[in-house]
Each structure stands twice: as structure tokens, then as C-alpha cells.
């Protein structure tokens, strides 16, 4: 790449991987795709740990992407082998939205500004770097769309092959991205959960590198960089509360991990309250959190227009529930219409285009404000995890207005003009 230097290739810190429930160590190079055998796929998700006493966090300024955080990543900076600029997305101050919510500050982390227009590029970048380090030529994923289209693009940029498993209802724009990037796309006539199982089987059989949420602990390391960027942009004085949409729970858990490590390193004074936001028609984690349960009850027929968080069996539920509890945060559910309102407000009052799931975090802030749970002194943030163009039908459903149709003849133009002039 030409306009952001690669800098020296950082040696990653000593990283170990452990089961989140029993603590059993699992070698990092075997971890992708494999949960802890004793604890199984739900309780046996794995997590990367570092000896933080040996980490020297010198991240440098924004501009060259997330591998500037290599001191807190389990894989080395791949340098020009992975040329796309991932991360270092804008964090906007949105004073009009702050007035609307009655808080001191609203910050918006616009992660739709990544290469494939989704936060998932952070995870894909670290996964592809890991596959490169392990000399694995094929990467695979199951996804409702964003993770797969992200992996397709990052793999293509690095010269790796991608095989992607999508559910039958994956939106055409996301499938189009994958195919355009040359991935082999396998559409599984079933749910995301079924596509996930087929993908796991294929990775096992063919030795493909698995970029699957929750089972591969390296992905959360990429996603946590969004927390590192938010904190750094706030001069290490992070917001009081950070909200984000929750499907599998992986982004939400990764936010916690990022903020937790920064505090453990002494870079920040506290961990923000983290609020995970689900759609009412698909809220197994919000329900489990409210009930104080250790795991979520699977939801057979999840329903929401926010397809990226339409997940009935959250793969990262153990870590997500822990993140909400340990941060004194919350997992809440909001109606789809609240998410539509958030899509409109983000665009109209801050100029940020969010896909439905990307607007869910801000919808959560609206919900908290409406129920009196935000204070006037609060500095709050929402992570916008994907761009509105990811789901045009979803964006259109958030718009109650219709375009005005006029004929280009002089007779009608005059009267139509007057009508427009009067409403402006």
C-alpha cells in the first residue's frame, strides 16, 4: 500500500488459548474451529490470553489500520501480504443526537467504513493473517452474510481461496460481494445454524482454516480493536457506556476484552458499561441475562429485519453474558421499529449510514434514554457495525416517505416546484 506505511513488523506477544469455562489450554494453531472437547460447543468456546506484564503497548497514531495494535494481537502484522486498510474508522461526535438523548456526548464509531463495509473485516483481517502465518491456503466461514463477504474480500486481497457457507435467506447484496471477490459460495437450504454445522464439518474434513464466530478465538482479537480505537480516540478516557447490536455475541464480548485489557495495562481508568442490543424477535441473550441464566435458551424461529443479528443460537453466549455482567452493563431487546428509527436518526442527524443491525446499538441508546436510564452527564457511544448499503431493502423499510414523481414538462414543473418550495 502506498499511503500508510507498514512500519516495523511487530512480533506478537506470547499468546495462549484457553477454554472459557474449564480453563483447559488449547494450542492456538489448533484452536480455529475447535471448541474445548470437554465442555462442548456452547460452554467450550476458547479465548486468547496474554502475559500483559510483557506487553508494551505503543500503538502509534491512526492511519495504517488495526495491525498497529499488533502488540495486543496473537498474530504478526502480515505487512503488504494483506494490503487492505482495515480499522481506523472514524469516531464521530454527534451533538444533535446528544441533545436528543439528553446526555453530555454521543459518539458514533462508524465501522461501515471498512473495506467490505462491515466491522467483520477486523476479524477477517486477523484470521487471514493467521492463515497466512500457518500456511493454510483455504479459509472458510459460515455466515448470515457480513462475515462471509468480509472473508471473501480479505482472502482475495491476500491471494487465499475462500469457501463460504450461507443460509438460504442471506441477502443478495452480501452474496454478490462474496461472488464478486471470487469465493466459492455454498448456499445451505436451511438456517444459519445449519450452515454453521456444515462449515465445521468441511473444515474438519479438508483442513481449511475456520473463520467461524466463537469457535475461533482469534476473531475476537480482531474485533476487540474497535474498543482500542475508541479508547485511543478519547485519549484513553473511554465513554461511560458503549452500545452495540448483538447476534452471536462475539463483537460484544470482544469489546469487553479490549476495554478489559486496556484497563489491565493501566492505559485506561475503567471499563465502560457495555450494553448489548438485540431485536425483540430474536433476544435469547437479553432473556438469559434478565433471568440470570448461565446460558441462553435456543430460539427456533428468530425474527427481525436486522438480518445480521438474526441468530437463534448465539455462538458466543458465555462470553457475551460475562461481558454484560462484568462491565455492570446490560443485554436488552428493542422492537424493530426502534431500530428503524435509529437508522433514520443516524443518517439524518449525524450523516452515518447504518444497516439495520448496525443501527441496533444506537437503538439501544434510544431505548435507555426513553426509559430514563441515561444521565445528563453521561458520555455514551454506539458502534455502527455495518453500512446501510449492505441491506437496501432494510434501509427502504426504515423510510416512511416516498419520492415525489414529476413529469419533465414545463406545465407540471411550475406547480410541482411551488409545492416543493412550500414544504422546504
Subset of 144-183 contacting a second copy (CB under 8 A): 153-154, 156-159, 161, 163, 166, 172-173, 175-177, 179-182
**Is 420 near a second copy (CB under 8 A)?**
yes
| Least distance (Å) between residue 244 CB and a second copy | 17
Q: What residues contact residue 402 under an 8 Å CB cut-off, 6+ apart? A: none
Neighbours of 204 (CB within 10 A): 12
Q: Which of 131, 141, 188, 332 binds a second copy (CB under 8 A)?
A: 188
Of 252, 235, 218, 225, nearest to 382 by C-alpha is 252
> What are the CA-CA distances from residue 239 to residues 109, 169, 176, 198, 259 (Å)?
12, 36, 37, 40, 11
Burial class (CB in 10 A: 0-12, 13-18, 19+), 263: middle
Within 305-364, the residues that bind a second copy by CB under 8 A are 343-344, 347-353
CA angle 37, 198, 360 (to 5 degrees): 90
Query: Whose Cβ is closer to a second copy: residue 311's or residue 388's?
Result: 388
**Is 106 near a second copy (CB under 8 A)?**
no
What is the bridge-based pairing of β-strands 15-19 and 105-110? unpaired
Total residues at the site for a second copy (CB under 8 A)? 94
Q: Which of 94, 227, 243, 366 binds a second copy (CB under 8 A)?
A: 94
Q: Which of 107, 366, 369, 384 binds a second copy (CB under 8 A)?
A: 107
| Least distance (Å) between residue 222 CB and a second copy | 16
**Is 116 near a second copy (CB under 8 A)?**
yes
| Least distance (Å) between residue 173 CB and a second copy | 4
**Is 406 near a second copy (CB under 8 A)?**
yes
Of 121, 164, 123, 126, nearest to 142 by C-alpha is 164
| Least distance (Å) between residue 97 CB and a second copy | 11
CA distance 256 to 262: 10
Q: Which of 210, 215, 232, 327 binds a second copy (CB under 8 A)?
A: 232
Q: Which of 56, 372, 403, 411 binds a second copy (CB under 8 A)?
A: 403
3-state secondary structure (DSSP) of residue 343? helix
CA distance 131 to 121: 15
Task: Return the residue matching grid coordinates 457495525.
Answer: 385
Within 57-86, the residues that bind a second copy by CB under 8 A are 61-63, 80, 83-85
All cell numbers assigned to 361 = 446499538
| Least distance (Å) between residue 159 CB and a second copy | 7
| Least distance (Å) between residue 315 CB and a second copy | 17
Query: Whose Cβ is closer to a second copy: residue 20's or residue 381's?
Result: 381
Amino acid at each position: 500500500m502506498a499511503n500508510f506505511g507498514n512500519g516495523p513488523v511487530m512480533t506478537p506477544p506470547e499468546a495462549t488459548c484457553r477454554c472459557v469455562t474449564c480453563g483447559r489450554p488449547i494450542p492456538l494453531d489448533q484452536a480455529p474451529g475447535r471448541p474445548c472437547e470437554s465442555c462442548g460447543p456452547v460452554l467450550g468456546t476458547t479465548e486468547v490470553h496474554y502475559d500483559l506484564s510483557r506487553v508494551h503497548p505503543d500503538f502509534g497514531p491512526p492511519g495504517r489500520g488495526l495491525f498497529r495494535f499488533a502488540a495486543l494481537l496473537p498474530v504478526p502484522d502480515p505487512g503488504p501480504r494483506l494490503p487492505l486498510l482495515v480499522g481506523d474508522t472514524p469516531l464521530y461526535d454527534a451533538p444533535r443526537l446528544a441533545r436528543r438523548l439528553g446526555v453530555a456526548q454521543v459518539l458514533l464509531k462508524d465501522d461501515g467504513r471498512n473495506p467490505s463495509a462491515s466491522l467483520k473485516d477486523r476479524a477477517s483481517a486477523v484470521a487471514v493473517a493467521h492463515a497466512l502465518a500457518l500456511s493454510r491456503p483455504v479459509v472458510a466461514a459460515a455466515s448470515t452474510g457480513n462475515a462471509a463477504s468480509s472473508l471473501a474480500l480479505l482472502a482475495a486481497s491476500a491471494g487465499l481461496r475462500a469457501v463460504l457457507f450461507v443460509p438460504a435467506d442471506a441477502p443478495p447484496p452480501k452474496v454478490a460481494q462474496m461472488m464478486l471477490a471470487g469465493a466459492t459460495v455454498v448456499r445451505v437450504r436451511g438456517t444459519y445454524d445449519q450452515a454453521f454445522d456444515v462449515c465445521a464439518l468441511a473444515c474438519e474434513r479438508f483442513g481449511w482454516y475456520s473463520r467461524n464466530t466463537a469457535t475461533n478465538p482469534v476473531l475476537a482479537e480482531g474485533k476487540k480493536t474497535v474498543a482500542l480505537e475508541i479508547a485511543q480516540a478519547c485519549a484513553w478516557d473511554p465513554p461511560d457506556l458503549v452500545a452495540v447490536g448483538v447476534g452471536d455475541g462475539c463483537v460484544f464480548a470482544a469489546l469487553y476484552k479490549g476495554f478489559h485489557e486496556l484497563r489491565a495495562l493501566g492505559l485506561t481508568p475503567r471499563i465502560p458499561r457495555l450494553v448489548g442490543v438485540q431485536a425483540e424477535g430474536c433476544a435469547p441473550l437479553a432473556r438469559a441475562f434478565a433471568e440470570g441464566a448461565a446460558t441462553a435458551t435456543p430460539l427456533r424461529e428468530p425474527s427481525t429485519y436486522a438480518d445480521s443479528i438474526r441468530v437463534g443460537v448465539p455462538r458466543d453466549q458465555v462470553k457475551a453474558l460475562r461481558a454484560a455482567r462484568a462491565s455492570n452493563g446490560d443485554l436488552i431487546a428493542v422492537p424493530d421499529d426502534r431500530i428503524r428509527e435509529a437508522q433514520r436518526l443516524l443518517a439524518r442527524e449525524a450523516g452515518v449510514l447504518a444497516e439495520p443491525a448496525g443501527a441496533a446499538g444506537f437503538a439501544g441508546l434510544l431505548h435507555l434514554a426513553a426509559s430514563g436510564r441515561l444521565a445528563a452527564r453521561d458520555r455514551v457511544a454506539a458502534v455502527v457495525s455495518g453500512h446501510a448499503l449492505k441491506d437496501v431493502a432494510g434501509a427502504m423499510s426504515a423510510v416512511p416517505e416516498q419520492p415525489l414523481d414529476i413529469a419533465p414538462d414545463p406545465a407540471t414543473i411550475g406547480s410541482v416546484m411551488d409545492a416543493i418550495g412550500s414544504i422546504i
